[in-house]
Structure 1
Amino acid sequence: MKQQTVPEIELWYAASNGDAMAFGRLFELYFPKLFIFALKYTKDRCQAEDAIQQVFLKCWEKKETLKHINNIASYLHRSVKNELIDLIRRQVLYKKYQQQLCEVQQGVEPSVLQNTELSLRVGREAILSAAINHLSPQQRRVYTLSKERGWSYAKIAQEMEVSMPTVKWHAAAAFQALSRFLKNHESELFLFIFFFSLFF
């Protein structure tokens, strides 16, 4: 792994003291290398980007402890690898529940199945809507422009009159907040599937 430069160390130390601009610069500096590294473990470019954003968000949340990291590059690469492993595990778990749902659906009356699928879809949409409403105004705007309108980060940055790293930061923060909210409420849907399997 390439030895970090003095400016990188200074940025890392400044970030650990709560300097958001320094942290944003670190994100810009390491993202390209981490992205190439992440693609060795996943062919999904969105998944690779999400993993990197998650790692930086977690670093920011525990920024006070970053001063004790000796090799920045090694730490970030290892963290991205671990994050990807967790993402893949969650995907496997999700597919497992999807398979269980398919098994439950077999042999069910079409009308009942249609109503159940509608209920699940409405439930998912309601939970997602609630999650979006819990975002900060800036995060919500970035999410809406990116996911619902399909705007690029460059176009969003121009519209909001902020820098590209700022947009990426809000996008990453929104992703983190949505993930936490959905994770805390995912059991509601799984319980619904469970009780449905008991009665039908």
Structure 2
Amino acid sequence: METNDRLNQPFEELIEKASRMDEEAFTRVYQEYTAPIFHFFFLRLRDRTLAEDLAQIVFLKAWENIRQLQEVEKILAWLFKIARNTLIDYWRKKKEINVPDFSALESGADSTEPLRPEDLDLKMLIEEIWEVLEGINEEQREVIVLRFFEGMSPKEIEEIMGKSSTAVRSLQYRALTKLKKVLLRKINK
């Protein structure tokens, strides 16, 4: 994944072409950014199919609104903002949030191979991380996921969340403090 400060000139030109409704250019943008958008949803919903569906919705909305993209170098922040709003819309429509299971991992949905021990270890690790992340509020969790799982800069997080740098730093500090307490409680059990 390329971050905003590392966009190379040809990729910036590609995004500019996409913003002029060039389908081929937009397809390449989609290929570049579909994984981080999918991960954004998967880390929150833990449902592979739903994450894929919502990621598709994000790119449909992006295609419909690509002309509104003001600064091509901020495309990732723009896509994450669309993803965040899409997730909020999904939760509003659903009105209840259930915790999906890891059926894709358990069933080996992407392969005909049986589940391997390392897959089980990964599944358990993901579940433990998610359990710890559930110990903090949604905004704090969002900052942690964007910063440490998606590798975004504080500036990008500010743009996605529509918050000041002070607010983002404060959310991150409070989240890390709470995570530390939750982890210490888990370790001391």
TM-score normalized with structure 1 length: 0.42
Find the structure with the greater CA-based Rg.
1
Say which structure is richer in helix.
1
**TM, length-normalised to structure 2:** 0.44
